[in-house]
């Protein structure tokens, strides 16, 4: 994997009326033609995502959208798609001054979602007025590029993205044992993203990361002079690994780390109590980021449902995958989310927020398995 995964990039959504130059401005910032430009209003239809590296900001994804005044027959649907795209936007770039009727409405939507906005006026080569608080640019003459990038960089939420994956769990020189079963769930010839990210984070912190499988774990422990400082396991083998973990060693899982990295660990842990009070007839929603065809040992489709059914009998399970997530959650007592490694933090936090607002418990795979195997109180996070 040579590039930053999309899920860890800053997502910048570009909004404005048809023909305001959204696609042109993205091309200017990218210094290449990544988005189709024309004088025909309604050139961009579905949101278009383009990953790139921006000096001073880092890896980003620009999301080019349809004009918010698109009133072609499909316009309403396009605007709905744009609105859905706000779910994973970290910042918005709003091009103003062209059909401004819609601006107040969109500013209100952005505000209600706490998405910071940079306002810009494009086409200043044609003598446009640049109101206070706006950046003047010309995509055609490449004017205002530096100012615009500075403004985007300043608008970045200070808590953006990467809360530290290992938040205080390790210090320089620690020995950390990573237990990673390579079963048929594991992709051929590579490691999955949470494992790669954890190894990288450990190395960055000057820790020694030792990788093993559950079968080799006892041997690895025998050969170490003392217990490792921390064991991080795949949550599917939590129970087994807990039994082999020395008493003086702390234990956590990749998905618990990801839960804190990509979600709201406190809400997830608090919500785990709801699992214990599930009764026959309750509905549980299982939400998975990946849309891959489920395998027989799939954790969200098979393992967790089997554990829940065994304990609570007649609970009803609904499944959603990818960007699908119901707005109305009132039918559910509990939402169980995957680790979210393919989503950005903003999207998962929006889902947590939606659950909180509707007073629905939400937790994730790793915490559910830890709870159901009775070790939630024995892990560190």
Ligand X SMILES: Nc1nc2c(ncn2[C@@H]2O[C@H](COP(=O)(O)OP(=O)(O)OP(=O)(O)O)[C@@H](O)[C@H]2O)c(=O)[nH]1
State the minimum distance, in angstroms, from the CB of residue 7 to Mg ion: 25
Closest CA to 208 of 175, 252, 165, 170: 175
Helices 193-204 + 254-262 axis angle, to 10: 80
For ligand X, the binding residue among 4, 6, 43, 358 (CB under 6 A) is: 43
Nearer to Mg ion, 142 or 316 (CB): 142
Q: Which residues contact 322 (CB under 8 A, 6 or more apart)?
A: 288, 289, 290, 291
Task: Yes or no: say if 293 and 321 are a contact pair by the CB < 8 Å rule.
Answer: no
Residue 233: Cβ within 10 Å count: 29
Among 37, 135, 265, 372, binds ligand X (CB under 6 A): 37
**Binding to ligand X by residue 44, rule CB under 6 A?**
yes
Nearer to Mg ion, 34 or 244 (CB): 34
Q: Could you say whether residue 67 binds ligand X (CB under 6 A)?
A: yes
Q: How far lies 349's CA from each of 175, 191, 353, in Å?
A: 32, 26, 6
Name the minimum Å distance from CB 72 to Mg ion.
Answer: 13
Please state, in angstroms and rounded to a whole number, the distance separating the CA atoms of residues 330 and 315: 16
Question: Is the separation of the CB atoms in 364 and 251 below 8 Å?
Answer: no
Residue 154 Cβ vs ligand X, minimum distance, rounded to whole Å: 22
Nearer to Mg ion, 43 or 227 (CB): 43
Taking CB under 6 A as the criterion, the residue among 5, 42, 75, 116 binding ligand X is 42
- Site for Mg ion (CB under 5 A): which residue of 8, 20, 23, 85? 23
Rounded to a whole number of angstroms, the minimum distance from the CB of residue 129 to ligand X is: 14
Site string for ligand X, 106-125 (x = CB under 6 A): ----------------xx-x
3-class secondary structure, 295: coil
Do 340 and 366 touch, CB atoms closer than 8 A? no
Q: Which is nearer to Mg ion, 27 or 274 (CB)?
A: 27
Binding site for Mg ion (CB under 5 A): 22-23, 43-44
Binding site for ligand X (CB under 6 A): 16, 18-24, 37-39, 41-44, 66-67, 122-123, 125-126, 138-140
């Amino acid at each position: 994997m040579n590039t930053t995964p999309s899920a860890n990039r800053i997502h910048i959504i570009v909004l404005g009326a048809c023909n305001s130059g959204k696609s042109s401005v993205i091309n200017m910032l990218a210094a290449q033609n990544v988005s189709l430009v024309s004088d025909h209003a309604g050139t961009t239809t579905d949101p278009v995502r383009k990953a790139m590296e921006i000096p001073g900001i880092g890896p980003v994804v620009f999301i080019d959208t349809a004009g918010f005044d698109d009133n072609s027959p499909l316009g309403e649907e396009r605007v709905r798609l744009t609105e859905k795209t706000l779910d994973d936007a970290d910042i918005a770039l709003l091009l103003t001054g062209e059909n401004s009727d819609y601006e107040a409405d969109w500013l209100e939507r952005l505000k209600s979602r706490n998405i910071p906005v940079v306002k810009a006026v494009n086409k200043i080569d044609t003598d446009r007025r640049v109101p206070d608080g706006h950046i003047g640019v010309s995509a055609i003459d490449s004017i205002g590029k530096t100012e615009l990038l500075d403004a985007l960089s300043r608008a970045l939420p200070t808590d953006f993205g990467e809360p530290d994956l290992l938040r205080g769990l390790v210090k320089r020189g620690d020995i950390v044992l990573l237990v990673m079963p390579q079963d048929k769930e594991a992709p051929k010839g590579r490691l999955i993203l949470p494992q790669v990210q954890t190894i990288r984070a450990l190395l960055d912190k000057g820790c020694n990361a030792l990788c093993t499988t559950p079968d080799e774990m006892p041997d690895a422990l025998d050969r170490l002079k003392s217990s490792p400082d921390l064991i991080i396991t795949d949550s599917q083998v939590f129970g087994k690994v807990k039994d082999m973990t020395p008493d003086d060693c702390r234990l956590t899982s990749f998905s618990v780390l990801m839960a804190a990295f990509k979600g709201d660990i406190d809400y997830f842990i608090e919500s785990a109590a709801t699992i214990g009070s599930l009764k026959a007839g309750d509905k549980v929603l299982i939400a998975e980021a990946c849309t891959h065809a489920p395998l027989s040992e799939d954790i969200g489709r098979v393992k967790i449902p089997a554990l829940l059914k065994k304990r609570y009998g007649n609970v009803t399970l609904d499944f959603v995958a990818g960007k699908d997530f119901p707005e109305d959650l009132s039918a559910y007592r509990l939402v169980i989310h995957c680790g979210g490694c393919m989503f950005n933090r903003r999207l998962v936090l929006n889902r947590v927020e939606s659950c909180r607002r509707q007073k629905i418990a939400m937790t994730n795979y790793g915490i559910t398995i830890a709870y159901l195997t009775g070790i939630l109180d024995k892990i560190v996070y």
